[in-house]
Amino acid sequence: MPTSVNTIRLKSLKKKSTLKQILKIMRRFQKFCGVVYSDLTRNKRLLKDQFINKTFLALTLLSISIVVLIAIGLFYKSIPLLNSASLSDLLFSSEWKPFKEAFGFYSFIVGTLWVTAISIIIALPLSILTAIYLSEYAHANVRKLVLPLIELLSGIPPVLYGVWGVLVIVPLIQDRIASHFVEFSTGYSVLAGGIVLAIMIFPLIISIIIEVFDNVPQELRNASLSLGATQWQTTKKVVLRKSFDGIIAAVVLAISRAFGETIAVLMVCGNLAQIPQSIFDSGYPLPALIANNYGEMMSIPMYDSALMFAALLLFVIIFLFNTISRVILYRIEKRNT
Amino acid sequence: MEARKIEENIFRFLMILSTIIISSTLFMIVYTLFSKGVGSLSWDMVSKIPEGGFYIGKGGGILNAIVGSIYITLGSTFLGLIISLPIVIYINVYAKKNATLATLTRLSSDILFGIPSIVYGAFGFTIMVYMGLKTSLLAGIITVTLMIIPILVRAIDEVVRVVPDDMSNAVFALGGTRYESAKIILRQSIPGIVTAILLSFGRAIGDAACVLFTAGFTDSIPTSLDQPAATLPLSIFFQLSSPIQEVQNRAYAAAVILTIIVLIINIVAKVASKNLSKNKI
């Protein structure tokens, strides 16, 4: 009876394999606990090492999961709003009447985009030129002198930029600039927000671009120069081209920084929930909306949910931008080591 | 002159111009703040808490905000250090062979570094509600801690990474454990750690958006963790939005105080990192 023999064999094989698996799992378990157990009797130092290994691993995993926790926390809070209106209504309607439970974020999104765009348009050319000068042209001493100044700029708190904007930029726009273009402007405008933001993101763009330039091999520059190219031609055709993706990454990072900046922009950009018609109009960026209304948010139904949704929106956009540009920068660093 | 030489000179001029513009903004900002604020600066400002009617121009100072800021900053830097040092040790000593985990940690702290403080504020608020806390010093410290952990991790990681491998190999050769080699590596990176602490200190003391939801605001100095606390940036912000000239002037004076604190911290950080590293191998 060949078939029955076969089945018996198969069964015993199966049994054996399951037995083996159980033994394997048991051995693993023993290994896991055993190390700790035997070290307890043998070596206190090893035990300490093992214990620290596990605790520190837990902390590291926790730190990685903060990103996920933020997303979950904000999403959880914005569920009520998402249930009451469709996503496209929330994003593309500009009707903002919290008392009637109408939450359209369109004008805030547009306000954020205006301010961010203006700041990048101002900051990018200036930063690239400065970065080129410091990394390709300037004497080492000049670089040593200027870079710390730029780093200090990044240490100044946003609120001080805001005060400075109110004192200098807003009157400047109101009295000198706006009168040439429009009939009237209070100065509290998306332009003011853009200028203040541009100064805030200088250090970020410059430090990243200089790092990217430093990663361009010196041999490439030498080869170009030995062919008779001028230094500017070398910079333009070799250095800039070679670091193109790095510059893009820097810009995307700067955009995400500009997107989320709160207090400084809030202080100078007027905070009117409207779609700006010109750069001299007031705007109301998303972060300013969140910061301005934290006081009332518990008293109006759904309001807290709406503000948390705004925070979630910021988080998602900035998370995507950040991840993309960081991955690009990591690749550049890896390529050159 | 050749066309390309002309082009070179034009761009060289533009480069120097933009470098001058950017490096002079710092002086412009500091000059404006000082020239506007020094006049209203008085000893009362830094030694008294607000008296009744402070926000309509009556007497008092902003000692509550200064002390509140220092409490929050010290607390969160301390907490942040306790959490981020193990993380850096883990990815540099224990998980050295497991490069994916280290890269993932670095990537995630880079990403977290870019998340705006208002989002941390909102997240801190959800934690606060979840844990049943009210606006308090403790809630503020937790939120700021979350914000500065990525700064600390990245800054300390940067210095721990460049400690030569030979150092820990020597420890292993003598029969030491990884934990013991970590202690040696940390001793080597003390200057960098001090700089990192000062940097995160400067960031924590200047951030307003982060504590807006969680720390509350009060005219008195908090005496326990569950009381609300005022912070310097918020105090500037609130005073500046007042329509009364006298109160606005005090906001400028408070801005001078904050500028001085932040500049001192930043400059000390620079000098410290330079001087402390003299004793390094």
Check whether A333 has a pLDDT greater than 70.
Answer: yes
Per-residue confidence (pLDDT) for residue A224, from 0 to 100: 93
The partner residues of A283 in beta bridges, in order of sequence, read A270
Q: What is the pLDDT of residues B127-152, one digit of tens each?
A: 888 888 888 899 999 999 999 999 99
Q: What is the pLDDT of residue A42?
A: 59
Given a cut of 70, is residue B95 above it in pLDDT? yes
Q: Does B259 touch chain A (CB under 8 A)?
A: yes
Q: Do B110 and A232 touch (CB under 8 A)?
A: no
pLDDT given at position B57: 67
Q: Do B262 and A133 touch (CB under 8 A)?
A: no
What does the pLDDT read at residue A169? 92
Q: What is the mean pLDDT of chain A?
A: 85
Over range B192-220, report the average pLDDT. 86
Q: Which residues contact B179 (CB under 8 A, 6 or more apart)?
A: A45, A48, A49, A52
Average pLDDT of the residues in A174-187: 81
B55 vs B68: CA distance, rounded Å: 18
Residue B265 Cα, gap to closest chain A Cα (Å) = 9
User: Mean of the pLDDT values across residues B70-96?
Assistant: 92
Which residues does residue A96 pair with via DSSP β-bridges, in sequence order?
A103
Q: Which of A200-209, A234-243, B53-62, B108-117 has the lowest mean pLDDT?
A: B53-62
Instruction: Find the helix or strand (DSSP H, E) in which A97 lies.
Output: strand A96-97
Residues of A in contact with B109 (CB under 8 A): 63
> B117, A262: Cβ pair inside 8 Å?
yes
Question: Residue A4: pLDDT above 70?
Answer: no
- Hey, is the C-beta of B115 within 8 angstroms of any chain A C-beta? yes
Orientation of helix A244-260 relative to helix B117-131, angle to 10°? 50
Which residue of A57, A124, A159, A197 to mutate against B (max B Cβ within 10 Å)? A159
Q: B107 vs A330: CB contact, 8 Å cut-off? A: yes
Chain B residues close to A256, C-beta within 8 Å? 114
- For the cut 50, the answer to whether the pLDDT of residue A1 exceeds it is no
Tokens of A271: 């905070």
Give me the helices (H) in chain A, please: 2-42, 44-84, 87-92, 106-132, 140-155, 158-164, 170-172, 190-214, 218-226, 231-234, 240-242, 244-260, 263-268, 286-292, 303-335
Interface contact B172, partner A, CB < 8 A: no
Q: Do B22 and A126 touch (CB under 8 A)?
A: yes
The mean pLDDT of A85-93, rounded to a whole number, is 84
* pLDDT of the residue at A193: 94
Q: Is any Cβ of chain A less than 8 angstroms from the Cβ of B82?
A: no
pLDDT of residue A164: 94
> Is the torsion defined by CA of B214, B215, B219, B220 positive or negative?
positive
How many beta carbons lie within 10 A of that of residue B184, not counting itself? Answer: 15
C-alpha B249/C-alpha B240 separation (Å) is 8
Distance in angstroms (rounded) separating the CA atoms of residues B62 and B50: 6
pLDDT, one tens digit per residue, over A99-146 is: 787 888 898 999 999 999 999 999 999 999 999 999 999 999 999 899
The single-letter code of the amino acid at A236 is: K
Range A57-63 average pLDDT: 90
Q: How confident is the model at residue A86 (pLDDT cuts 50, 70, 90)?
A: confident
What per-residue confidence (pLDDT) applies to A117?
A: 94
pLDDT at B150: 93
Percent of chain B having pLDDT more than 90? Answer: 38
Count of other CB atoms within 10 angstroms of residue B227: 18
In terms of CATH architecture, what is A87-336? Orthogonal Bundle (1.10)
From the CA of A69, how many Å to the nearest CA of chain B? 9
- Would you say how long chain A is, in residues? 337
- The answer to whether A244 and A253 are in contact (CB under 8 A) is no
Q: What CA–CA distances, in Å, run from A87 to A73, A83, A134, A313, B232?
A: 18, 9, 46, 11, 38
B65 CB within 8 Å of a chain A CB: no
Cα A307 to Cα A294: distance, rounded to the nearest angstrom: 8
Question: Does residue A142 come out as left (phi exceeding 0), alpha (psi in the -120 to 50 range) or beta?
Answer: alpha
Average pLDDT estimate for A44-69? 87
Lowest-confidence region among A31-35, A198-202, B250-254? A31-35
CA distance B54 to B97: 60
Per residue in A276-332, pLDDT (tens digit) is 888 888 889 999 998 888 777 777 778 888 999 999 999 999 999 999 999 999 888
ipTM of this complex prediction, to 2 decimal places? 0.91
pLDDT in tens, B164-176: 888 888 988 988 8
Say whether B126 and A76 touch across the interface (CB within 8 A).
yes
Average pLDDT over every residue of B232-236: 90
Instruction: Report the gap between the CA of A237 and the closest CA in chain B (Å).
Output: 13
pLDDT at A90: 84
Distance between A213 CA and the closest CA of chain B, angstroms: 15
Contact yes or no for B153 and A155 at CB 8 A: no
Note the maximum CA span of chain B.
75
Distance in Å from the first CA to the final CA of chain B: 53
Is A53 in Cβ contact with B94 (below 8 Å)?
yes
A73: pLDDT strictly greater than 80:
yes
Q: What confidence score (pLDDT) does residue A33 get? A: 60
**Lowest-confidence range among A82-96, A139-153, A212-226?**
A82-96
Share of chain B above pLDDT 70, in %: 95
B29 contact A CB<8A: yes
Who has greater pLDDT, A185 or B91? Answer: B91
- Specify the pLDDT at position A13: 57
Give yes or no for B95 touching A (CB within 8 A): yes
The answer, for B273 touching chain A at a CB cutoff of 8 Å, is no
% chain A with pLDDT above 70: 90
* Sign of torsion over alpha carbons B25, B28, B34, B39: negative
Cβ <8 Å between A49 and B179: yes
User: Which pLDDT value is given to residue B278?
Assistant: 56
- Stretch among A130-134, A158-162, B62-66 having the lowest mean pLDDT: B62-66
Does residue A78 have a pLDDT over 60? yes
